[in-house]
Structure 1
Amino acid sequence: MTNPARSAAVTAYVDAPSIIQEICWVAKQGAECRAKVMRSRAFWIRKAALFDRIAIKEAAMYVPEVAADVVEVAVVTARQLVSFDVEYNGLSLRGSELITGDDCRENVRQEYRKWRRTQRV
């Protein structure tokens, strides 16, 4: 049986580069110029999407207890994107105590889809 939530999450990354390519890109950007990267929204979107994709794969392969650490890292990086948007793009966190990790990960998927559309020529 197919999990509809997982299917929707996977479609967010249907045209994404491979996970290995993204790991290399994120690592290279992080190593080259840390101060500049900290202000790059593309870096935070791609990093959060990378960890979300890894968590999706792990959750599909293993029982929840085994995948829990990877899912938690995906939530942390998703929250980093939200924090970046709050600081630099005027996003408001009014009512932030109500925002769940799943909400943040869904936000990553939406923002990644928007970002990918702008990358096409």
Structure 2
Amino acid sequence: MAITEPPAPTALTAAVAYARAPSIISEIGWTADQAATRPFGTQLPREFWLRKAAVLDRIALDDENAHILTDAPAVADAAARRLMECDGATGTDPRGYVRAQYAAWTRQHTTHP
């Protein structure tokens, strides 16, 4: 009987990562409010960068699934890289990182403001 390697873990799907997410409109409103109500020069918390990256990823996914060519994937990638920078994380899949972080965050936050 041959011993085989266990299958490689699969990346967290967007459907799983964003299962508890509020609507895209709600998240756009939340991120805009957070940015607008902070005094100029105030550092935004990690939650802002996480939720911003997640909503931009969701928008990009919608465009990609509809086969619409926009800059949304590039914008989502840039936001994901910003979150990784905040976290001191490295890796080759920034948007996958956002999905994993968002899924973990939503497990701790059952309600969203």
- Name the TM tier (shorter chain): 0.7 to 0.9
Q: Which ranges in structure 1 are unaligned for 5 or more consecutive residues? A: 94-98
- 1:105 aligned residue (61, 82, 95): 95
Which portions of structure 1, spanning 4 or more consecutive aligned residues, are displaced by more than 3 angstroms? none
Verify: 1:44 aligned to 2:34, yes or no. Answer: no
> In percent, how many aligned pairs have the same letter?
40
SS at match of 1:21: helix
Q: Is the 8 A contact 2:27 2:51 kept in 1?
A: yes
1:14 aligns with 2:19: yes
Q: 1:73 aligns to what?
A: 75
Q: How many aligned residue pairs are there?
A: 99
In structure 2, what is the Cα distance between the partners aligned to 1:52 and 1:106? Answer: 9
Greater helix fraction, Structure 1 or Structure 2: 1
Partner of 2:29: 24
1:44 deviates by 0.7
8 Å CA contact 2:28, 2:55 repeated in 1: yes
RMSD of the TM alignment (CA)? Answer: 2.0
The aligned runs of 1:89-100 (5 Å cut-off) are 91=89, 93=90, 99-100=91-92
Query: Unmatched 5+ residue regions in structure 2?
Result: 1-9
Compute the TM-score of the two structures, normalised by the length of structure 2: 0.79
**Aligned counterpart, 1:114:** 104
